[in-house]
Structure 1
Amino acid sequence: MDLRKHIATALLYFLLVALMGVLLRFFFVTPISLNYKYILHAHSHTALLGWIYLGLTTLIYKIFLSEAKKPKLYKRIFLFTNLCIVGMLVTFPIQGYALYSIIFSTLFLFASYWFAWFAMKYIPHYFKQRFSWKLIKTALWYLVISSIGPWAIGGVMATLGPESIWYKSSIYFYLHFQYNGWFLIALLSVLFYVFEEKGIHFNSEKLKSFFLLLNFGVILTVFLSFLWFVPPTVIYILGLAGAVAQLLAFFELYSLLKNHFSVLRTEFGPACFFLLKFAGALLALKILMQVFSAFPYIANLAFRLKDFVIGYLHMVFLGIVIMAMLAFLEYFKLIKLSKSFLWIFFFAFISTELLIFYKAFALWLGLPFFAEYYWLLAILSFAFPLAVGILFFRNIKSSYLSA
């Protein structure tokens, strides 16, 4: 089974996500006879569940499950998952959250449960004692836990309505455990797997400390997602405790890895090592932002100025998750990264992030704002589908034509 074809499918979703992102930016500069929220739903669902989810699950299969000798079962899971993704991709732009899009979204939850069950049942026994597998298993449980959010949305819509605080809270609950739990911990697992394969052993007590702090952080920082409606003080305290736990976990991780960065530099090469360093630096920034967001003034600021939240989420997904995932996909020979893709993608990411955060700071601090802002943001956003298009067509050529 050629897993490069599976990644080529994921890259196609990535390209569609990038194109929808440009379309969303043009809503602010010219009349478009489409529903903005519907396109936004399609954009976010395809990004998280099409591109990132398929990228991570393919990596997990490649590393941990390819020797389980269950390719037909995995292929069925892959095909069912794609049926759900295509269903969401077609229905969300047409109807938003409605009957058919909810059906496909619900089916996707079952697809994710199916994959989690498959991974935990068929993992070869010699992986079970590895720290990397401990992290993957934890990430998969957070994937399952995150699904409580979508299940709750249905009940909230039926009883309290979309104006209820529990509607947004259910969405934020889902997003939190997706990127803080499932995405980031799965990527950390791949990182530790690389070290394990190179015969590098870490202090077991330090690994245990890191693991506990990491999980305390993931669980408690979910309370940061509820600060937007000014909850009781105890929620702020719990959120701050989680942010501090994440900060301590990051320091523990750095102390574990600092003497082994030369291994990553040698193994990954200059370009992919830079991707990992860049993602790591943004991870440190993300954790610091979470610490500050536990304080009422900053939490209220983020709620009032949505550009802070948009910039933060794009930083997490585009800057941390996707850049680290691209480095790992290249390392395991599932994709080929070109210099042209990397230069254009970095230009797109940095330029648009600077603009998004500038707008947020301008509104907050009363800085000068220029009339051409939305046009400039929309035009710069074209660099994303250009970069992803280069990546997609280069890899579709190598994965299909060389087969």
Structure 2
Amino acid sequence: MTFTQLWAKRAFFNFTLLALAGVLLRYKILFPLPLVDQKHLLHAHSHFAFAGWVSLALFIGIIHLLKPNEQQQKQFNKILWAQQISSYGMLCTFPFMGYAAPSIFFSTLSILVSFWFAMVAWKMISSNAQLSFEKKWLYTALISNIISAAGTFTLAYLMANKIINQDLYFGSVYFYLHFQYNGWFLFSIFALFFSQMKERMLPQHIRLTNLFFYLLLLTLIPAWFLSMLWMRVPGWMSTSGAIAAVMQVIALSIFIRLLILMRQQFRLVFHPPVHLLWLIAVVAFSLKIIMQGFSAIPALNQYAFGIRPIIIGFLHLVLLGFVSIFIIGYLLQNRLVYLPTKLSFGGLWLFVVAMFLNELVLMSQGLAAIFYKPFPFNNELLLVAACGMFTGLLLFYREQTSKYASLQPGTQVISS
């Protein structure tokens, strides 16, 4: 088992544990669970999702791309263990005390680890001539991850000092989420994605990819204003946000055009399950861009930020449908995890189906709220979806530790 394979397995264990926390959150809405505070558990769930699953998995993906030597692996191993310590520290402290000295310590440690990773990775990227195509994507991702920390530090300060300022509180949350979702996550994902395709790209494909990148880069800061439109903001911020929304739709059309032009290459390069997973990720990414565009319309903005199920549905659409589904596909494509048995294959698709159910219920619940209509059994259905995602991931992870998975690197990925 290679260095990145070992850490990919650990990341998947974290993902499974994260899904279990999601089950507890949904369970507590319906049934008493006196030992756990719902709000505190929610903080633990969200922090562990970002640090223990997504960021850890993206670290692993980038490390796999960098192909470090033995000495560099030792340095990355320290970083990844530090990330694990901070992630589990947050998971074990937030549920019982919320924002307090221990949980703030571990969340701060997580930020410092991301700085550490950025410095080490940046140095390796800049000296690696083979990554010339991915460099701009990776640099933007690392910078965005660092910038997002400003939101976390502000939020921690407000919570620790019990400062009640709704605009500042939600502004800090959305600042952090924006530069994570639309910066660190998004640019890392496309760096990893295009690294798989660059050798098969023609000049026209490279031009479209560069145009796609610069449109996303230009909209990175003004698109944050879209999440601030529920506040009283200057007119120039509203206008900038609206322009950014239009530019992102243009960027999406360019990306889809690129995918259509390269569809034959995709079929040749990607394993069938990966092809389907990344198709789902593309659909989720497209819905993300379209929904952000709708949020620029004043008549719809109040629904985008005023109805909780829509907010939660959007966050899960991006985190699960786009980010997590892409990561799973990338790890499978590069044989960092496997589908060694039909049970693992079934577990993966159980997770996908349950994820669809989760999104369907959340968005239906949001639409029902818009029209002041009840949505019966929504919490029960969300609990079923959470249990389905946890069970699917548990089956998938279990098979990673089976004797079949130890047959790599020759283990075959099941395609049907």
Q: TM-score, normalised by structure 2?
A: 0.91
Matched to 2:355, the amino acid is F
Query: Secondary structure in 1 aligned to 2:6?
Result: helix
Q: Is the 8 A contact 2:222 2:237 kept in 1?
A: no
- Separation in structure 2 between the aligned mates of residue 187 and residue 201 of structure 1, nearest angstrom: 22
Q: Is the 8 A contact 1:127 1:133 kept in 2?
A: no
Name the stretch that deviates more: 146-155 or 286-295. 146-155
Query: Secondary structure in 1 aligned to 2:29?
Result: coil
Q: Is the 8 A contact 1:64 1:124 kept in 2?
A: no
Structure 1 129/10 Cα, relative in aligned 2: closer, same or farther at 3 Å?
Answer: closer
Match of 1:321 in 2: 323
Pair 1:358-2:364 in alignment: yes
Select the residue among 310, 333, 356 that pairs with 1:331.
333
Select the residue among 390, 394, 397 that pairs with 2:399.
394
Pair 1:62-2:67 in alignment: no
- Separation in structure 2 between the aligned mates of residue 178 and residue 60 of structure 1, nearest angstrom: 16
After the TM superposition, which residues 2-401 of structure 1 pair with which residues of structure 2 at under 5 Å, given as runs?
2-33=3-34, 34-67=36-69, 69-123=71-125, 125-127=127-129, 130-157=132-159, 161-198=163-200, 200-202=202-204, 205-337=207-339, 338-370=344-376, 372-397=377-402
Identity, % of aligned positions:
33
Query: Secondary structure in 2 aligned to 1:114?
Result: helix
Instruction: After TM superposition, give the deviation of residue 376 of structure 1 in Å.
Output: 2.6
Structure 1 291/53 Cα, relative in aligned 2: closer, same or farther at 3 Å?
Answer: same
- Separation in structure 2 between the aligned mates of residue 398 and residue 249 of structure 1, nearest angstrom: 44
- Separation in structure 2 between the aligned mates of residue 265 and residue 284 of structure 1, nearest angstrom: 21
- Separation in structure 2 between the aligned mates of residue 48 and residue 239 of structure 1, nearest angstrom: 25
Query: Secondary structure in 1 aligned to 2:31?
Result: coil
Any stretches of 5+ residues in structure 2 without a counterpart?
409-416
Instruction: After TM superposition, give the deviation of residue 280 of structure 1 in Å.
Output: 0.7
Instruction: After TM superposition, give the deviation of residue 322 of structure 1 in Å.
Output: 0.7
- Separation in structure 1 between the aligned mates of residue 358 and residue 67 of structure 2, nearest angstrom: 38
Name the stretch that deviates more: 109-118 or 63-72. 63-72
Matched to 2:239, the amino acid is I
1:164-194 per-position Cα deviation (integer Å, ceiling 9, x unaligned): 4111111110011101111111111111111
Name the stretch that deviates more: 105-114 or 190-199. 190-199
- Separation in structure 1 between the aligned mates of residue 273 and residue 405 of structure 2, nearest angstrom: 25
- Separation in structure 2 between the aligned mates of residue 280 and residue 289 of structure 1, nearest angstrom: 14
Any stretches of 5+ residues in structure 1 without a counterpart?
none
Structure 1 138/266 Cα, relative in aligned 2: closer, same or farther at 3 Å?
Answer: same
1:226-253 per-position Cα deviation (integer Å, ceiling 9, x unaligned): 1232433332212111111211112222
Instruction: After TM superposition, give the deviation of residue 296 of structure 1 in Å.
Output: 1.9
Q: Is the 8 A contact 2:152 2:172 kept in 1?
A: yes
1:96-120 per-position Cα deviation (integer Å, ceiling 9, x unaligned): 1111000010011110000010111
Matched to 2:163, the amino acid is G
Instruction: After TM superposition, give the deviation of residue 2 of structure 1 in Å.
Output: 2.5
- Separation in structure 1 between the aligned mates of residue 184 and residue 196 of structure 2, nearest angstrom: 19
Q: Is the 8 A contact 2:348 2:396 kept in 1?
A: no
Q: Is the 8 A contact 1:67 1:124 kept in 2?
A: no
Query: Secondary structure in 2 aligned to 1:147?
Result: helix
Name the stretch that deviates more: 68-77 or 185-194. 68-77
Matched to 1:385, the amino acid is F
RMSD, matched Cα: 2.2
Instruction: After TM superposition, give the deviation of residue 336 of structure 1 in Å.
Output: 1.1
Instruction: After TM superposition, give the deviation of residue 351 of structure 1 in Å.
Output: 1.2
Matched to 2:390, the amino acid is P
Q: Is the 8 A contact 2:338 2:405 kept in 1?
A: no
Matched to 1:267, the amino acid is V
Q: TM-score, normalised by structure 1?
A: 0.93
Query: Secondary structure in 1 aligned to 2:197?
Result: helix
Structure 1 203/276 Cα, relative in aligned 2: closer, same or farther at 3 Å?
Answer: closer
